[in-house]
Structure formats: structure tokens, C-alpha cells
Chains A and B, each alone.
Chain A
Amino acid sequence: MARATRPTSRQPAARKSPARSNAPAAAAAAAAEPAIPNRERPAQPERYEASKEELLGFYQQMLLIRRFEERAGQLYGLGLIGGFCHLYIGQEAVAVGLQSALEAGKDSVITGYRDHGHMLAYGIDPKVIMAELTGRQAGISKGKGGSMHMFSVEHKFYGGHGIVGAQVSLGTGLAFKHKYEGDGGVCMAYFGDGAANQGQVYESLNMAELWKLPIIYVIENNQYAMGTSVARSSAEDQLYRRGESFRVPGIQVDGMDVLAVRGAAEEALAWVRAGKGPIVLELKTYRYRGHSMSDPAKYRTREEVQSVRDNSDPIEHAKKELEAMGVTEDALKEIEKEIRARVAEAADFAEQSPEPEGGELYTDVLVGQY
């Protein structure tokens, strides 16, 4: 049974990511028979039929992430952001497409260190995110977490984790909580193709299926674990199959198409909310920038990156569809202007906010007084 998502007829024919050309996923998947053929599996997701307003919303969110990340890159260059800073540019459709399907205040999200996009997609104020990147008191973690360690319990966004793969078992714990309390929530745990090789991912898949936990494991396959390509690191490079030995079904999705992503989210949520246990989504995507700001990305060619930008950019793709739906160029320009203003405001806020007081060093180590 083929699990790979093929571009639908609605997609422009020219869109072909090197992701797919590198790994002929659809053909490989078609050849593989499931281990237990009569086991129930999720249906092949349909591309989401978005209204103009919905698609405009997705476009705005993706553009916000893009412009925010570009600005963060600039601030990093100016020395206003320190340490590690991992940008989400190129992957915007994943967080936006998936999280738009979640119910705010009910479903939880957890991810690794490349976390700015997921926070923005969950509606968290760009100002407090940017102020965290600059290490200011007004930052979402009072400047004590930084780019990789941000949380918003209010939004049910549980981080922001710096250890590759840790969020997978932590997310399984969040799903455990949803089931334990019967609150109807689902956890969406994101991790990369690199983390997909960590042992605790499989420990988690096992427990999640054993206990039928409501969790969607999202593999953001951006092709490179830092500088190591999937082909060089993964014996099974079709990562959506990684749950098979635990009977966790997987779906491969075009992660550069926000509506394909949203469609897959609908299918995955239906599966999980029906009490059928966990599911794996592999989102084939691409990061335009290096692994972190300090990565010159010598492990791939300029042409490869440029080809994705030219042919598969999720924002350009959505823009074309919006135009086809009758959204005027002026309207799109207006959106662009608004977003640039929001990002500029966030950057100003982040630059002008004071650093934490010295006394903040000793707060929040422990909750209790002993």
C-alpha cells in the first residue's frame, strides 16, 4: 500500500523538490507491502480544501515565520543574538499546516531546538520570542532559556528542547497526560530526520502504541541532520516507516505544500482522536539556511538550495494559489507590509528591552523554599 503523498493535480507541475528526486519515496513505498496487510491503516490524506480566508491565514503565518527568522538572522549577525540559533526558513508550511488543525488550549505541542516557527504558528507573540532570542527580561523565559529553550504553558507549547530526541519521550508523556486526564487532547511531537535515529524515539513509539496514547509523531525531514544527509545516516530512509515494527502507521507528506500538510494533519488527528493510538507523519521539507547560524552548509550545493527556493517554496506556492483564487497583488503587498511592521516591532522591542536583573540569576532554580 502506498503511503507517500504524491503531488495532486492542483499543484503546479513544476514543483518538484530535490527531496523527492533524491529519494523516490512514492515508488519505494509502493513496492513495500505492510507487515500485516489486514491491519487497519489511516486513509491516504486528501489535500485540504481551504477557503480563501483560510489560505490567507496560512500565508500570513508562514510569511510571519519567514520574516521573523530573516530578522533573527540579521540580529544574530549584529551580535544581538548569541549562542545557537536555528532558523526555520523553508519549513514554514509544516508548523503552519499542522498546527492550524489543532485545537488551541486543548492539544499540546512540543519540539526540539528549531522552535521559533512552532511558537509563531501557535499564536505566541513574536515580541516575547524575539526578546528571548536577545536574552532580555521581557523574553518568554525571562532571558534564561534562549533560542532553544522556550515554553508557553498557557498555549500548551511545551518547548523548545535542546537535546536531540528528548522531546519525543517528553511528548509521549504529554500524550500520557491527555489520556490519563481524559481531556480529549492530542500531543504533536516534532523531531527531525536526525532525531529519528535516537533510541528513545523507538522506546517512545513502543509505549505509545502499547498504551494507545494520543500522539502524532511529526518527523520534519529537512534532509540534513546538521551536515549529515538522510542517505548517509539512515538505513531506512523512508522515515514514515520507522513506526512499523511497533505497529504505528506512518504517512509521508509533501511538507512544502501547506494544504497537503493540513490534509495530512486532518487524517492523523482523526486516527488519534478515534483512540487508535499514535501515528507517524513524515514531512518532506527543506531548510534553506545552515543547521545553525554558524553552519556554512558546505555539505550541499548552492544549486540544490536554489532549486528548492525556485521550485518548491511553500510561501510562493501559497501566494500563487491565492492569486488564482482572486487575491490581488495589492492585497498581498499589504499583508507583506503588515508582517514586516510586526517583525520590526518585535525586533525593536527585543533590542530595547532591558537585560534581566542580576538577581534573576538565582530565581526559578527551585519552586519551593527549603
Chain B
Amino acid sequence: MCWWGSIEMSIELKMPALSPTMEEGTLAKWLVKEGDTVKSGDILAEIETDKATMEFEAVDEGTITRILVAEGTDGVKVGTVIATIAGEGEDTATAPAEAAKAAESAPPAAAPAAEAAAPKKAESGTSKLASDKAAVTADPAIPAGTEMVKTTVREALRDAMAEEMRADGRVFVMGEEVAQYQGAYKVTQGLLDEFGDKRVIDTPITEYGFAGVGTGAAMGGLKPIVEFMTFNFAMQAIDHIINSAAKTNYMSGGQMRCPVVFRGPNGAASRVGAQHSQNYGPWYAAVPGLIVIAPYDAADAKGLLKAAIRTDDPVVFLENELLYGRSFEVPKIDDFVLPIGKARIVREGKDVTIVSYSIGVGLALEAAETLAGEGIEAEVIDLRTLRPLDRETVLRSLAKTNRMVVVEEGWPVCSISSEIMAIAMEEGFDDLDAPVLRVTNEDVPLPYAANLEKLALVDADRVVKAARQVCYK
């Protein structure tokens, strides 16, 4: 991608995006100063986001004329002009002292004109997915008056692993880039420093192999956390997850345990195309012998990951890349562990029940807000655990509202939505005043083009429409 926009006499260097979802970052360090001559490939600066640090390279030759954003500046919006460069033969006479002054006085957002001139950025369909809507109803598992700390989902997951590793020497983490690189998505950031390379282990790119190694280590009595860079890659390892891990206890008549946690991001990421964008929740939730957890907010991510590490059963723990950077309130409790297999009412209502999990919960909460404006009080349920499924909470809510919509960022066929609908049919038929509807992704491989991606993915508007429909409004 080209970050260079040419204006008279000089070229503007703009804050680059390091990923399709990046909106802003920190200009950590300048490696050049005004007056320096640079050529293509020279490293100009280091840019940081919460998940990565990247070097920013020169693409053309020239002389740095002005540095407009000082190093150490946080919250620099993507597209902001951070420096200018003059090509060969151009006027480089700008006095460095004057430029420095300009840099000090130029706040990061002070380049609206340049931003406007930037090429139109195609907006990913996932921009509508990544809501950070928080639960309206307090979690009954958290005592009233508990101090809450804003924490990203990423940090919450890391904290859960670190706490469990401190508490139990058998717990270790393995996966691609989990140690020295600090995690491909920075979820394992800092673990290597604290626990060393015996317990934070970089593997080769060898999913089938290391999933087997983790499973075997669990059979031997250790408590491995196996990170998949994304669950798309776990397809290579699904044999060990299902045939080796899930069935061990049963096939051994209960004598051989397999307490392994397989975790990593799941579901659609932004603009990564069909092979990197799928929700495996329904796949794993179909398998007896597995626990499948898919949290939405940071508190659940922490409390449930700790529970997952502690249980003696094999767990598939499905995270979501688009949620990693979102912040939520996490209770400041010494050992915050949540129960596996319990859904949570994240917003109470009486007119319609919206059931969802993972990133769909944000959409459900967003839709509930819109619906409230129209006089429809939606009750939102976050399933949190997909297997075993908390049928009771779902059915109790259905008995109260008599109407139900299921929201799932995933395919519709043979899905968690299908399962919830079947449960409503089999066990809640008398409570239904309308057919249950599901709002899911379209039944196609996820396309790359931004507009098509947007068409394929669930959004809050569709949830609102479905809710109105079941309410006959």
C-alpha cells in the first residue's frame, strides 16, 4: 500500500495502518531527523499498536524536510501526515529549527486536509461487527460494589493464563509465535519474560504435530494451553482435538484424562478472505467429550479461560480477533473464575429474547438499544459456553418473552442457531408466539471485496428487523 501523497515540492509521509482494523497507533520512535537523506528501504520510524510494533520504511529517495509528529505521540490516526520529504532537486531549505517548532505545535489530528485527500479506504464488513457494547445487566457472579478495571479482551486472556501458570506448574503454553514474538495477536505478551522458555514454547508451523504433542502431554498429566494462531489452522489438527482429546476419557472408561485447552481467534477477521474467516463453534460444539467456550467480553474471557485451564476436560476456547482490542470492565477479584456451561443475561427485557455468543453479543446489544427506542424490550442472552449448552437459561427467557431471535456470526446451516431453534421447538413449543428466527452470515464462503464482505456478514440492522418480525411489528 502506498502511503505517499504528493503535494507541491514535497511528499507527505502518512501514518500507516498495520492491519485492516487499525485506526490509530503510537509513533514510538523516529530513526531519522530533519535534513537526513533517505533512500528506498531505509527505516524511518517505529509505529506501535496494542498488538504489534512495525518499522516504517521509506519507499522513495529524498531528504526529510519536516517531522510533524514527535516521537512518543499516542493516538495518531491512520492517514495523518507525520513528515514530509523532498525529492531530489527539490527545495530542502526548510530550517530544521522551524520544523521542530511545527512538530511540537502540530497535534496528531491536525492534518484533516491531507486525510481528505487520501484515497478512499474501503470499509470492511467487519467494521459493523466489532461493537464494544457492554452488558447492561450486571453479572450476578460478580458481587455488588466490586471494583472494576477497564481491560481489553487481549489483556484479560493473558492475565488468565498468567494467573493459572503462577498457580499450577503443570500449566504451559505452546504454539506458533507465542514466546519470542509475544504472540501473533499479542495475547501471550509478557508470558515468556515471566515464565521462561520451558513453559512458553514456540513451535514450528506444525499444527497437527503440536496439537498431538499438547494432547499427549495432557494425557501424561500436564495442563497444556495450545494456541492456534487462528482456528482456521486448527483444521490441520482437528483429528487430535476430536479423535484424541475428546474421546480419551470415555474410551478409557474414565481412567485417562486429557486436560488440554485449545485456544485462539475464531470467526471472521477483517478482509482476510474465505480461508481465514470462519466460525468453528458449531463444528466443535457437535462433539461429545469437548467443552466449547466462546466468550464476548473481557470479564468472561478471563473468568472462563481460568475455568477452562482448571477443568480436567479438554476445552476448545474460541476467541475473536476483532474483540481482542475492545475494552470492558473486569472485576478486580483475586481469583475470578466463572462457571463453564452457564449462559448470562446481559440485558433484561420482556418482549423478545435475542440469543447470541462471541462477537454476535455486541450486535444483539446494539439491536436491543435500537429496539428499546421503538418500545420493544429485548432480553439478550450471551451463551458463553456452546457445549454444554445452557438450555435452561434460554428456555426460561423464552417462557418470559415468548419470542426468540438467534444471532450468530457464522453460517446458518447446522449451526448453534439451528440447535437453539431445535431446543425451542422440542422443549419450548408451548411458549412460542412466533417462529424463532436466526440472523447469521450468508451461506457463502466469505468474500474479500469490502462491499461483498459487508453483505455476507451479520449486522445489528438485520437483528432489529428479525426482532420486529417475531414481534409482528
Contact = CB atoms under 8 A, between A and B. Distances in A.
Contacts of B291: 366, 370
A364 B312 CA distance: 12
Interface string B254-294: 11110000000000000000000000000000001101000
Given A177-B221, A180-B198, A207-B204, A367 B249 contact: yes
B215 interface: yes
B255 A173 contact: no
A168 interface: yes
Q: How large is the interface on B (under 10, 10 to 19, 20 to 34, 35 or more residues)?
A: 35 or more
A305 B214 CA distance: 40
A9 to B, nearest CB: 41
A149 B252 contact: yes
Interface stretch (A80-88, A137-145, A282-290): A137-145
B289 to A, nearest CB: 6
B72 interface: no
Contact of B219 (A145, A170, A203, A363): A170
A169 B252 contact: no
Contacts of A139: 253
Interface stretch (B63-71, B238-246, B364-372): B238-246
B244 A161 contact: yes
Nearest to A156: B220
Given A163-B243, A166-B212, A368 B340 contact: yes
B341 interface: yes
A173 B313 contact: no
Nearest to A370: B341
Contact of B256 (A158, A172, A207, A363): A158
A44 interface: no
Contact of A169 (B224, B240, B248, B253): B240
Q: How large is the interface on A (under 10, 10 to 19, 20 to 34, 35 or more residues)?
A: 35 or more
A365 B258 CA distance: 12
A269 interface: no
B393 interface: no
A162 B252 CA distance: 13
B432 interface: no
Interface in B220-243: 220-222, 224, 239-240, 243
Interface string A117-155: 000000000000000000000011111110001111110
Nearest to A210: B204
A110 B323 CA distance: 40
B311 interface: yes
Interface string A92-124: 000000000000000010100000000000000
B229 to A, nearest CB: 16
Interface string A177-209: 110110000000000000000011001101100
Interface string B66-91: 00000000000000000000000000
Contacts of A199: 208
A171 interface: yes
A172 B174 CA distance: 14
A145 B252 contact: yes
Contacts of B215: 169-170, 173
A174 interface: yes
Contacts of A152: 255
Contacts of B311: 367-368
B56 interface: no
Nearest to A211: B201
B170 to A, nearest CB: 8
B312 A368 contact: yes
Contacts of A143: 253
Contacts of A144: 250-251, 253
Contacts of B222: 176-177, 180-181
A16 B313 CA distance: 50
19 contacts: A142-B253, A144-B253, A153-B256, A159-B248, A166-B212, A166-B239, A166-B244, A169-B209, A169-B215, A169-B240, A170-B215, A173-B217, A200-B208, A206-B206, A207-B213, A364-B254, A365-B250, A366-B249, A366-B291
- Which 4 A-B residue pairs are closest in the complex by CB-CB distance? A173-B216, A169-B212, A203-B209, A370-B341
Given A140-B253, A174-B216, A366-B289, 4 more contacts: A143-B253, A172-B216, A199-B208, A364-B252
Interface of B: 172, 198, 203-204, 206, 208-222, 224, 239-240, 243-244, 247-257, 288-289, 291, 311-313, 339-342, 385, 388
